[in-house]
Amino acid sequence: MTSYPAPAAALVAAMHAAAAADPARAVAFQGAPGAYSHQAVREAFPDALPLPCFSFDDAIEAVQSARAGRAVIPIENSLHGRVADIHFLLPESGLAIVGEHFVRVRHCLLGVRGAVREDVRVAISHEQALGQVRRRLAGWGIAAERYADTAGAAALVAEAGDPAQAAVASRLAAELYDLDVLAENIEDAAHNTTRFVVLSREAKLPAPGYPLMTSLLFEVRSVPAALFKALGGFATNGVNLTKLESYLKGGAFSAAEFYADIEGAPDDPGVARALDELRFHTNWVRILGTYPQARSRELPGG
């Protein structure tokens, strides 16, 4: 997608103008107005000025260049896993994670006014959203077609005016683009939730009294039991590791890089000891940010 569909273009222009007049209040997000990232901005920062961006790179660049004070970026979904590219973009961005927010994703099938679900032959949406409604669409005999984002797909359906074409997107997108909700809560699992992180140019000291999370990256050495030894300090110091994902960079298969979330802050005694041990057994460790925990990791609704 190199430009927004016409129904979204006017909204984008107005939002860009408002953000340009007060960039400190602007919060960048990827997608067209009505995207779940837009919903996350509205929920997390009700008084902010949402700034729509074509791509994750564009949203990050808006913060880097001070066109926005913060960005809200999806990092993982409870049903479809991690969001592609984010783990590569975060360490290269130079930005700090200063918060997190969870959005309960309630997908709707959106069609033009007067359409019914039985009319629909193809549903358009972002690949993440399509993966989250795969079984429902298959049961209805509706083909899936990828698009750059959910709300942009809704705007495209509004522009086309074809009752055989629908979008998988939010109820907010239906309101913004004057579409009918042909079916709602169509996600394949009731726990469908996306976790977003808040990015800023500078790290922010969290307010006292809140449970904290710390996100970090590290690269293990290419030796036997490297990961086992690197993570041992978290177990012996009672530090809860809530997320651990590996990925390879630069075409090398000799040493993996890992993204991790832990409960606590680097200056907590147990966390400090665990990080010291982690550094001893790895090539490098990079702290991405420490921030208030938005909710418990124990239960989908926690």
Where are the chain's structural domains? 6-104+193-200, 108-184, 212-292
> Are residues 166 and 120 in contact, defined by beta-carbon separation less than 8 angstroms?
yes
The second-level CATH assignment, the architecture, of 108-184 is 3-Layer(aba) Sandwich (3.40)
Helix, strand or coil for residue 267? Answer: coil
> Are residues 179 and 199 in contact, defined by beta-carbon separation less than 8 angstroms?
no
Q: Which of 196, 218, 234, 258 is catalytic?
A: 196
Which residues, in sequence order, are CB contacts of 239 under 8 Å at separation 6+? 233, 262, 263, 264, 270, 271, 274
Q: Which of 193, 194, 282, 290 is catalytic?
A: 194
Return the CATH superfamily for domain 212-292: ACT domain (3.30.70.260)
Catalytic site includes residue 242? no
Q: Phi and psi dihedrals of 25, rounded to 5? A: -90, -10
Task: Tokens for 288, please give them.
Answer: 């991405």
Amino acid (1-letter code) at residue 242 = T
According to DSSP, residue 285 is labeled: E
Catalytic site includes residue 194? yes
Helix, strand or coil for residue 139? Answer: helix
> Are residues 180 and 45 in contact, defined by beta-carbon separation less than 8 angstroms?
no
Q: Do domains 108-184 and 212-292 have the same CATH topology?
A: no
Per-residue model confidence as pLDDT tens for the chain (302 residues)? 457 899 999 899 999 999 999 999 999 999 999 999 999 999 999 999 999 998 899 999 999 999 999 999 999 888 767 776 676 788 889 999 999 999 999 999 999 999 999 999 999 998 889 988 999 999 999 999 999 889 999 999 999 999 999 999 999 999 999 999 999 999 988 888 999 999 999 998 887 788 999 999 999 988 888 899 999 999 999 999 999 988 877 656 666 889 999 999 999 999 999 999 999 999 999 999 999 998 765 544 44
User: Residue 37: which of 212, 172, 159, 224 has the closest Cα?
Assistant: 172
At the topology level, CATH places domain 6-104+193-200 in D-Maltodextrin-Binding Protein; domain 2 (3.40.190)
